[in-house]
Amino acid sequence: MKAFEGSYRQYDSVVDRDLGIAMDDGAMLYLDVYRPALKGEAVEGEWPVLLERSPYNKDRMSYSIAGRYFAQRGYVYVIQDVRGRWSSDGAFEFLRNEADDGLATMQWLSEQPWCGDKIGTLGISYTTATQQALAVRKPPKLATQVLFDGPYNYFRQTMRHGGACEYAIAFQYVVFMARSGKQANADPQVQAQLDEMWASLTDWLVHQPLRQGSSPLRLTPDYEQWFFDMLTRSDYEDYWKTPDLCIEEFIDDYPDIPLLLETSWYGHHITATLWKYAELKKHHRTPKKLVIGTWLHGGDMFTQSWAGDVEFGAEAALEDNNGLRLRWVDQHLKGLPTGLEEEAPVKLFVMGGGSGKRDAAGRMMHGGRWRDEQEWPLTRAEETTLYFQPDGALSPDRAAADAKPVEYDFDPANPVPTVGGNFTNYGTTGFLEGGGYNQNSGTMSGDQSPKLPLAARPDVIVFRTPPLEDGVEVTGVVTCHLWVGSSAVDTDFTVKLIDEYPPSADYPNGYALNLGDSILRMRYREGFEAPLFMEPGEIYRIQLQLQATSNFFAPGHRIRVDVSSSNFPHYDVNPNTGEPLGLSRCSQVARQKIYQDVARASCVDLPIIPS
């Protein structure tokens, strides 16, 4: 058995704070440098360097812990406030300057006497986006990156999705950021108004869409403009095609370096990470490792074994964030044999197979297990098509030739509420709760309405298999093909995949666990560059790809697909009028049709893993 090695704690640490770097336009960006030390003095010499560039305050505890952790193990750790945030000069623009500012920072690092031949970068989410942006500038010493749950193309996922705005994610995030922006920090009255808005976010959802200048965000104009850009720039235009917002457009420029990618089935960036991994594997020869867990957004959540209302078992928790990152950088910056090269390139958690009972914390025990894979997507997955039936069944057979379409009314004033999904709240409990949940309404803060099943709504159309005789594992991207019509010139269609538990003592009405969802705004059914409105009464074939999942549907469970036209506040509500998105003042009810006859057979494609 080969002995594995890795860095261990053999130093103290010292930190040099608030070192300034001049950018090309003269703006000063400030960083802290954590260095190995003995007896309170920095150890001279050249070291591998780790850089993290963040909008979240370089003084926060998690960065201080990381700095000391890596310095004590023989690294120089550098944490920088990005432009316009906290100590750094300039105006903050959401992911607008990170490529050039990142390159300038890398050049400065490479000139320092303590900088060795290799620099690695670290981060999650926004700080993954900053890494990717600087990477396409190809700084000479960049040797590896740790890209946790980060973007690929913000237009296609996380800020917009299927032509819709991921409203609640963008809305709560911009308020979260504005509260810690320079205007708020400098003016107690601005801070107080934004804090009050933060405490009552659900109230701001009542009247949609939000009007520019009508909320306390007007006191922080740069942040307000960013939110309205996300809301109203609905065409895929040059605005989106920067290395900061859309590494997809620059994938050919990405340097061929070892990359560790992490995401989770309920993370913000599951789709983005899997797209990115697959594309980079095509382009590159150096190692790429992919870890897919169950947490909401990675990082500090690695040690959690649950997401939302669902428990996956103690095995679902991984080692701490810094421990995983240390193994990777030891391998690729120090050349230490940590065993990573002997592991499978893909490590994923297959959800399901648990007892289905309620645990002591009140969560449903869904269970699951880790599995090693050699690739993504899994080539052994067998695409299996299940067709919609007039009686609400999912069947391997098409419906009859004379099967009638199912019809329902979509009222923008009464949208289907979001219950769980691929997002993380930022401390706004009750506003938008990510993860797995029983698909019952009435979950938002202050909502005292009965928590009835979403399936009881007339605008939620449910298709389900009979109870499964044998367990079925679905691992991969689920695709839904719909034949639809509408009385509106523009409208939405949504799809959700659900693991439906049978009734039990703990859940007398069963438990409907959300696994993934998607939306398509019909004006973008043929592409996102320009809208194309519908002809009322015409029939259209559309395709929706849900977030990837890996779930074992146990015997007795049902595979269920819900079709509707809204999922709010996760996605903004379509007014059905064809007005410019984010600027509408009117709405109308749309009569929707889903066709399921033999010639127009709406269906779902499931990547099923052979037993």
Average pLDDT score over residue span 446-458: 78
Picking from 333-342, 395-404, 514-523, which range would have the lowest pLDDT averaged per residue?
333-342
* Overall average pLDDT of the 405-424 stretch: 95
pLDDT of residue 432: 82
pLDDT digits (tens, 9 = 90+) for 371-384: 999 999 999 999 99
Contact in structure between 544 and 482 (CB atoms under 8 Å): yes
Sign of CA dihedral 25, 31, 36, 40: positive
Block residue for tokens 């640490």: 13
Per-chain mean pLDDT for the chain = 95
pLDDT of residue 320: 81
pLDDT value at 448 more than 60: no
Please, which pLDDT band fits residue 77 given cuts at 50, 70 and 90?
Answer: very high
- Angstrom distances, CA of residue 202 to CA of 217, 421, 444, 569: 15, 17, 8, 9
What pLDDT, on a 0 to 100 scale, did the predictor assign at position 300?
A: 72
Residue 47 has pLDDT above 90, yes or no: yes
More confident residue, 91 or 341: 91
SS3 258: coil
- Lookup: tokens for 200: 């009552």
Torsion-angle region of 527 (φ positive above 0: left; ψ -120 to 50: alpha; else: beta): left
Q: What is the pLDDT of residue 53?
A: 98
At 298, the pLDDT band (50, 70, 90 cuts) reads: low
- SS3 track for 58-76: CCCHHHHHHHHHHHCCCCE
Task: Let me know if 249 is exposed, middle or buried by CB neighbors in 10 A (0-12, 13-18, 19+).
Answer: middle
**382-609: what CATH class?**
mainly beta
Q: Annotate 110-145 with DSSP letters as a single string.
A: HTSTTEEEEEEE--BTHHHHHHHHHHTT--TTEEEE
Domain with CATH 3.40.50.1820 in the chain: 12-153+241-296+318-340
Phi, psi of 292 (to 5 degrees): -125, 115
Q: What is the Cα–Cα distance from 184 to 191, expressed in whole angstroms?
A: 5
CATH 2.60.120.260 residue spans of the chain: 382-609
- Work out the end-to-end distance of the chain between its first and last CA atoms, rounded to an integer number of angstroms: 32
Would the pLDDT of 505 be above 50? yes
What integer is the mean pLDDT of 183-188? 96
Residue 205 has what pLDDT?
84
Q: Which residues are CB-contacts of 569 (< 8 A; sequence separation ≥ 6)?
A: 167, 168, 171, 205, 418, 431, 432
Dump pLDDT digits (tens) for 212-227.
Answer: 999 999 999 999 999 9
Query: Is residue 349 predicted with pLDDT exceeding 60?
Result: yes
**How many angstroms separate the CA atoms of 336 and 8, rounded?**
12
List, as one string, the DSSP characters of 481-544.
EEEEEESSSS-EEEEEEEEEEPP-SS-TT-EEEEEEEEEEEGGGTT-SSS-----TT--EEEEE
Q: How far apart are CA 336 and CA 328, in angstroms?
A: 10
Residue 446 is predicted with a pLDDT of 43
* pTM, entire model: 0.96
Tell me, what's the pLDDT at 431? 74
- Dist CA 125 CA 21 (whole Å): 24
* CATH 3.30.360.10 applies to domain 12-153+241-296+318-340: no
Work out the angle between the directed axes of helices 126-135 and 98-110 (0-180°, nearest 10). 70
| Residue 301 pLDDT level (bands cut at 50, 70, 90) | confident
pLDDT at 451: 81
